[in-house]
Amino acid sequence: MLDDDDDNDEQIHATQASSHNWIPAQPGQRYTFRDMFCGAGGTSCGAQQAGFRVLLGCDADNSACTTYRLNYPEARLIQGNVADVITSPVSRRVDVLHLSPPCQFFSPAHTREGQNDEANTAALFACSDLVNKIRPRIFTLEQTFGITFADHESYMNSLVRGFTMYGYSVRWSVIQLLTWGTSTQRKRLIIIGSCPGEPLPTFPAPTHAERPARGQKPYMTVFQALSRGRPLPGDIHHQPGRMRRVNRASWNAHQFLPRTITTSGVDAKFCHPSGTRGFTPREIANLQGFPPRYKFSPTQVQKQAGNAFPPPAVKTLYDHLRKWLLKVDRVQQSLPASAHSTAATAISTSSEPGFRLRTRSSANTVTTRRLPTILIIDEEDSGNEDLMAGCNSGSNSSGDDDDDDIVMLDSEPVFTPSGSRESTATLPEFDLESGGESVTQHGAYEQNVTEGVVELVKATESDEVVEISSWRVVGRHATRLSWNLH
């Protein structure tokens, strides 16, 4: 039986009164995983180490795809544009989906226009369509923290709105990856989303710290990261004799890797412990947390490793998500975390996503889609006082419709994050004192206003009601209270 987590129990709606209510695990069964923009497979590596079954990867880079095939021969690989996945007639649902769209355009190091800027931004906005196509229970997204800067506010707003538009609840935070077990001083934006009716997972607590508390470890240093991996005999990516010499009088064994590893290498001050050379490509991969036996294509190893979501950080996140799912599903099971364990290498008993084989608790069976919850966690925030926007009520407003003023929306509600860590929806161009009718590409919207609560009815051109939602209105801003699909 899983250990109880007091912080998480309040956010999981499944009843966990006694162990006899839990479902026994089926032999060989694991939660399923897909990796979009997979690159060399850093996220797949960490997810597999956490006990997930890797079903599919997708990337357009030839060298990265070669590496992925070498390490995940049982997974399907789509080498091409993610648009092929979106337009495919086959959806292939999974439990958890990960997205790592190209981040160069939003990186703080991006100081001039690049030839791939347009394609990279298009890939970012394709993420919501990928989620809607695959419809996972949970998705994660990793991106440079630069997208949270004021210069890119519109991109961040559009990214979040894309997920909530499809009914997903989202939570995000800027994470210092040192706190999740890497040797990299790199901050990344991490987004977690859950489908309608699925409890929204929290973020895992830091596993490493400069001054470790009980249950934590000290930050991983470069020396420690190198020591945990030994190059294989004959490894073409480990030839220190061919590396250029570096004038370095002393070596700091307790240093951390810089924020960015580029294709031209790390800064000279971050040299090998010998003090006489830089790092080999294999050592770069070890520093990023790839296992010593991880295979790489003959070319662009440093680029592949540098672009990867470090496997140790992924394992921390996905260990937490696996335990979260087991609690939600009330599965009495404890999977070994090692990728070399029996559970991690077992073949699934079904080609279908694992969650379909389990009987879901009635408390998690929701016939009404609730409001997508938008949560923002500040980097310094402990995460214990999350603010939830708009899912406090499960019923529509009541009142006499004949006495209600009828007003219309000119367009879809737009989600915009505010500085108070909450998120609200802006209802553009509506007037509580007048009526009217508006038909947009999304259908007709009719609002019945009662004491600050707006009931929004969405219908097709044939007057068939397809959606009813209610909103709490304050000035020109509104928070959605419920969302009923018909």
Position 385 scores a pLDDT of 31
Angle at CA of residue 213, ends 212 and 214, nearest 5°: 120
Report the C-alpha gap between 244 and 276 in whole angstroms. Answer: 8
Sign of the torsion angle spanned by Cα atoms 453, 436, 442, 376: negative
- Which residues fall within 8 angstroms of residue 257, CB to CB, at 6 or more apart? 182, 183, 184, 185, 186, 222, 225, 266, 270, 287
CA separation (Å) from 323 to 44, 145, 203, 334, 369?
18, 27, 12, 8, 25
Cα 97 to chain centroid, rounded? 8
Helix residue spans in 232-310 (DSSP H): 281-287, 301-307
Position 331 scores a pLDDT of 75
Position 239 scores a pLDDT of 56
Position 435 scores a pLDDT of 37
Q: First-to-last CA distance in the chain?
A: 39
Q: Mapping DSSP to helix (H, G, I), strand (E, B) and coil, where does residue 87 land?
A: helix
Position 399 scores a pLDDT of 38
Report the C-alpha gap between 434 and 140 in whole angstroms. Answer: 43
Report the C-alpha gap between 42 and 82 in whole angstroms. Answer: 18
The residues annotated as belonging to the active site are: 103
CB 306 within 8 A of CB 260: yes
Strands 331-332 and 374-377: what pairing?
Answer: unpaired
- DSSP E strands in 100-227: the ranges are 138-144, 169-176, 187-194, 208-209, 217-218
Render 196-223 in DSSP notation, one character per residue: TTSPPP-PPPPSEESS--TT-EEPPPHH
283-331 pLDDT, tens digit each: 889 889 999 899 999 889 989 998 999 999 999 999 999 999 999 988 7
Q: What are the residue ranges of CATH 3.40.50.150 in the chain?
A: 6-218+308-357
404-433 core/surface letters (b: 16 or more CB in 10 A; e: else): beebbbeebbebbbeeebebbbebeebeee
Residue with tokens 């607590």: 205
Q: Which CATH number fits domain 6-218+308-357: 3.40.718.10, 3.40.50.150, 3.30.420.40, 3.40.50.1000?
A: 3.40.50.150
What is the residue-level pLDDT of the chain in tens, covering all 486 positions? 334 444 444 444 433 334 446 677 677 789 999 999 999 999 999 999 999 999 999 999 999 999 999 999 999 999 998 888 999 888 778 999 999 998 655 555 544 555 556 766 788 889 999 999 999 999 999 998 888 888 878 888 889 999 999 999 999 999 999 999 998 888 999 999 999 989 999 999 999 999 999 999 999 888 777 776 555 455 555 555 554 444 444 445 445 555 445 444 444 445 655 555 678 888 889 889 999 899 999 889 989 998 999 999 999 999 999 999 999 988 765 444 333 322 222 222 233 333 322 323 322 222 223 344 444 443 333 333 332 222 322 333 333 333 333 333 333 333 333 332 233 333 333 333 333 333 333 333 444 444 455 566 666 556 666 666 665 555 445 555 555 555
CB 18 within 8 A of CB 32: no
Position 145 scores a pLDDT of 87
Position 291 scores a pLDDT of 92
